[in-house]
Amino acid sequence: MNSGSVIEIKELSYGYEKETVLEDINLSVPEKAFLGVVGPNGSGKSTLMKLILGLLKPQQGEIYLFGKEIRRFKEWEKIGYVSQKANSFNSGFPATVFEVVASGLTKKLGLFQFFKKKDKVKVMKALESVGMANLSSKNIGELSGGQQQRVFIARALVSDPELLILDEPTVGVDAQNVNSFYQMLGELNKNRGITLLMVTHDIGTISDKVTHIACLNRNLHFHGPAKEFEQLSEGGLSEAYGHDIHLLAHHHDHGGVKR
Amino acid sequence: MIDAIFRYEFLQNAFMTGILIGIIAPLLGVFIVVRRLSLIADALSHVTLAGIAASLLLEKRLMMFNGLNPLYMGMAFSVGGSLFIEKLRAVYKHYQELAIPIILSGGIGLGVIFISLADGFNTDLFSYLFGSVTAVSRTDLWTILIISVSVIAVIILLYKELFLLSFDEEYAKASGLASKSIHFIFIIMVALVIAASMRVVGILLVSSLMTLPVAASIRIANGFKQTIFLSLLFGETAVLGGLTVAYYLNLAPGGTIVMISVAILVGAILYRKSNYGKKAM
């Protein structure tokens, strides 16, 4: 067991009913890495993420979190999670930004514990770190998509996680804010040393933002430092993406994937 | 009115019970509404009706059940119904709302059978359907007091867990929260509160006391705690106002309580329109 790995996955396979979604995945995420997991729709990205979060149980293979086998892993407060906002939250929900972020402390505080003054300070600090402190008393539904996503990151940060898992975090964030959003993630990674795992279908924009890339389409087609990924011949990529790679590369002219 | 309350025990019972359910029904209602489970209250109230009818039937047919408070049987059915709903929601994963009509019609069906087996009931049944100022007994009041204290205690102790589960169920699960157990405790509380509220509001209108005050406060509140506070305020206003009107005009309190709730709701909608323009929620 590699002690420097936050996540270690060995020969993992998973399928729904008859269809195999993930096959023989081996993946390790070193400490303080910023890993982008990319792949087309239906490539098993979300399934992989749910397995890591313990929402699904592995059918074959093993997952280790912070060196512990996932079934015996108990320290879930070490992991922050930012979901695809559109799927899991009701935008008419009557809660303030502050209340939403405070809910990120639920597991860490434990049953029958109440919020104390120092927890309130933590919430405000988390909001400051994503630049949302001035909106703390607004209802969450009044914010724009990008602002909401920052609030959800603050909710994940408030319990001081060592690993932050993000599922398509830029869905619903308007184009001009995507860059500052990635910049914020980069700072969390560099300045606070948080390991990041981000799942996205957006292969074009991220390769210059992350430190490592895993390219997934049922199998793992590439896994390594982002620099190597940029130099990768298109063979490996089109293996994962099929013909879509042309289309994707043209869509985004940020120069991430050089063809 | 105040005089009368001091003079008549039945009025004390009705108002004390009213004060209690004016707190617990909207309190649970907030969580029910934001989790989009509003119709569960309706389904469970109809199951409670079956329990009441079963109890009245047994009382009529078997001596040994004489004097049994129908509230207990109603509660037992309500809790049983809530467990059935959970089971059905698991069976029909992709049609979770199906559980509600199944349980609702099952409850009425069973209730109607019990009622016809007993060759109809006396006036009692009417008061169970629409509530009554005179029907609340001292034992009812004690039972409802115990339920209220337990529900308020559980909500305070599990507040942050219930909030997280309501706001974002997936996140709650991902953060390792025992969401199934918490949901289970929650649904049992809902079943008990429905049975407790039925004496005053009536079975057919119980769900309105859980949803209408919340529907009003959601329009104007800022944040979750304020939503709870306003819901309690509106619920309490509706219950006390409704009981007073019902007492003076000799009406069923279920109707007057609901109509005051509707008036508050309309007021909240208009208030928001005048303050915020036509901004959508």
B154 touches chain A (CB under 8 A): no
B126 burial via Cβ count (<10 Å: 0-12, 13-18, 19+): middle
The token pair at A249 is 């590369």
Write b or e for each residue in A197-220: b if 16 or more Cβ atoms lie within 10 A of its Cβ, otherwise e: bbbbbbbbbbbebbbbbbbbbbbb
Q: What is the pLDDT of residues B136-147, one digit of tens each?
A: 889 889 999 999
Residue B234 has pLDDT above 70, yes or no: yes
Question: Is residue A13 classed as helix, strand or coil in its secondary structure?
Answer: strand
pLDDT of residue B128: 85
> What would the 3-class secondary structure string for A67-86 be?
CEEHHHCCCHHHEEEECCHH
List, in sequence order, every residue forming a beta bridge with A96; answer none if it has no partner.
A139
User: Contacts of residue A89 in chain B, CB cutoff 8 Å?
Assistant: 167-168
Q: Could you give the dihedral angle defined by the CA atoms of residues B31, B32, B36 and B41, in that order, rounded to the nearest 10 degrees?
A: 180
Q: Please answer whether residues B202 and B130 qualify as being in contact, where contact means their C-beta atoms are separated by less than 8 angstroms.
A: yes
Domain boundary assignment for chain B = 10-207
Is the Cα torsion angle B5, B8, B13, B14 positive or negative in sign? negative
Most A CBs within 10 A among B168, B169, B218, B272, hence the mutation to make, goes to B168
pLDDT of residue A173: 75
Is the Cα torsion angle B175, B161, B158, A105 positive or negative in sign? positive
Question: Is residue A143 classed as helix, strand or coil in its secondary structure?
Answer: coil
* Residue where the block lists tokens 């219950």: B239
CB contact under 8 A, B227 and A94: yes
pLDDT of residue A256: 38
CB contact under 8 A, A54 and B222: no
B170 touches chain A (CB under 8 A): yes
The chain B residue lying nearest A98, using CA atoms, is B223
Q: What is the pLDDT of residues B152-199, one digit of tens each?
A: 999 999 999 999 999 988 888 888 888 889 999 999 999 999 988 888
Rounded to a whole number, what is the distance in Å from the CA of B37 to chain A's nearest CA?
13
CB contact under 8 A, B167 and A95: yes
Rounded to a whole number, what is the distance in Å from the CA of B194 to chain A's nearest CA?
24
User: Contacts of residue A138 in chain B, CB cutoff 8 Å?
Assistant: 222
A16 touches chain B (CB under 8 A): no
Q: Which residue has the higher pLDDT, B12 or A226?
A: B12
From first to last of its 259 residues, chain A has per-residue pLDDT tens of: 445 789 999 999 999 887 888 989 999 999 999 999 988 888 888 889 999 998 899 999 999 999 999 999 988 888 988 887 655 677 789 999 999 999 999 888 888 888 889 999 999 999 998 889 999 999 998 888 888 888 998 999 998 899 999 988 887 777 777 888 888 888 889 988 999 999 987 767 777 788 888 888 888 877 778 777 766 645 555 555 554 443 333 333 333 343 3
Write b or e for each residue in B150-180: b if 16 or more Cβ atoms lie within 10 A of its Cβ, otherwise e: ebeebbeebbbbbbbbbbbbbbbbbbbbebe
Average pLDDT, chain B: 89
CB pairs under 8 A between A and B: 90
Of B177, B223, B224, the CB nearest to A107: B177
User: Contacts of residue B234 in chain A, CB cutoff 8 Å?
Assistant: none
Residue B278 has pLDDT above 70, yes or no: no
A137 touches chain B (CB under 8 A): yes
ipTM of model: 0.85
pLDDT of residue A242: 53
What are the C-alpha distances in Å from B32 to residues A10, A134, B273? Answer: 42, 31, 25
Q: What is the pLDDT of residues B89-126, one digit of tens each?
A: 888 888 878 888 999 999 999 999 998 888 766 667 78
- Nearest-angstrom CA–CA distance, B95 and B79: 22
CATH superfamily of B10-207: ABC transporter involved in vitamin B12 uptake, BtuC (1.10.3470.10)
Question: Is residue A64 classed as helix, strand or coil in its secondary structure?
Answer: strand
